[in-house]
Structure 1
């Protein structure tokens, strides 16, 4: 099967849980980040991806785990592509679930990019199917909480002290915060260096060391995140592109698809058509 499709949905559970059901053949995700974790089950084929400084292959029935704000990419590891179901809980959602777990408070860290856990994979599949087909709030919420709690208990750890950005110098954190708060700003490396009180070369080198992407690539990710938020609010796509600092709609489309896996138009259509009422 060489066709591609990707359907985004948002479930009301946990205040809005993003879901993806996709089959890709030629899709090639650029190195990017998400504000949420990626928790995915490979249904067919195999996915090759970069995470935690190395390349990994996730075969059928395995679980992919990417931590929030962790740089990763993705492509097919087979000629026929790959399909998967995934959810993207943000750290605050994990932390809310994790309040009662005495052994691992707060948002978890998943050290292994690929895990083989048939029982948990089956529970995740059941959760995805139930969110697709059932309007029973008690059942839906019970499965979401159970699957994420088991995931944390069986495969989660506390964040290591060397976690990217955990010990970043205040000057670098200031630059990151500026890009997060003003993703559409037309700012130069010289401007950011002046803000941080560093040389442009040192800022470029150290920012990538601590955050996994150089400032210009990190800015693109911040712009894509802003674009997603504006699309969810119903903003026109042309206005989204211009408001988020992209040259035009084509520029937005290219970066959005390389990060999210669908075009902004597809994302807007799926969000409008498939918002899941709990």
Structure 2
């Protein structure tokens, strides 16, 4: 008899008093995350199994009790590294939330950079579990805020490094930034590679190849991520899923559903309801 597959589940929540901090509690067996990025950091603890994921130009495996760290806007993906899948809890603090937490502290930078995709720190992992359990069970705002702020500052002090922000130096890099900014500002626009190449003053082939090299995704995939970010904002405001799909430039609701699930691990409906 074939082994029974565990049912997948994913619960997405927002901690509104913490600046809308996004939280995910998930159990996956077949989920295969596409390459994507988040506005915020990904900070997760593997509860069972192991996850294989791409980050920082290479593939990594995070086993049980390890901590996953992905920097804001960093391209990554994810899938199971074991037959039984993996379970994890994660949060996605924004860079500006880190800045507010670390303001006034004697640190070199207000927003951290985590160089290691996977860290083994049992004390920190247990502290993160305490945070996730408290956010799930307690409505004491002072306790929730104190635990989250203290834990994230401690995590940054133990595992982050100073990194100089990337700035475009060559003319072609500046032209690529123009394309990126256009896709960020007008994600719903129906543009072709030829349109973008004219904007940048670069050949279509050079643009596609160079854009992926600089930003981790080809232009069309980056546009999908930009559309998903707008979709999240509109869904939080209560807009109907079908209307969000149309507003953000997706072909239809199923097109939005497919990309949303592959990038975020939950469906648009789960994102809205927290179920």
The TM-score, its normalising length taken from structure 2, stands at 0.94
**Equivalent residue in structure 2 for 1:226, among 209, 227, 230:** 230
For the Cα contact (< 8 Å) 1:98–1:104, is it kept in 2?
Answer: no
Is 1:136 paired with 2:178?
Answer: no
Q: For structure 1, which segment, 90-99 or 114-123, has the greater mean C-alpha deviation from structure 2 after superposition?
A: 90-99
For the Cα contact (< 8 Å) 2:13–2:271, is it kept in 1?
Answer: no
The TM-score, its normalising length taken from structure 1, stands at 0.93
Give the Cα separation in 2 of the matches to 1:60 and 1:13: 30
Where 1:27 maps in the other structure, the secondary structure is coil
Equivalent in the alignment of 1:157? 161
For the Cα contact (< 8 Å) 1:44–1:84, is it kept in 2?
Answer: yes
Give the Cα separation in 1 of the matches to 2:108 and 2:46: 27
Where 1:50 maps in the other structure, the secondary structure is strand
C-alpha spacing 1:62/1:167, structure 2 compared with 1 (3 Å): farther
Give aligned pairs, total. Answer: 269
Where 1:187 maps in the other structure, the secondary structure is coil
Equivalent in the alignment of 1:261? 265
Where 1:245 maps in the other structure, the secondary structure is coil
Give the Cα separation in 2 of the matches to 1:14 and 1:137: 9
Is 1:67 paired with 2:71?
Answer: yes
Is 1:199 paired with 2:203?
Answer: yes
Q: Cα RMSD between the aligned structures?
A: 1.4
Unaligned 5+ segments in structure 2 are none
C-alpha spacing 1:166/1:197, structure 2 compared with 1 (3 Å): closer
Residue 267 of structure 1 and its aligned partner are, at CA, apart by 1.4
Residue 160 of structure 1 and its aligned partner are, at CA, apart by 4.3
Runs of 4+ in 1 over 6 A off after TM superposition: none
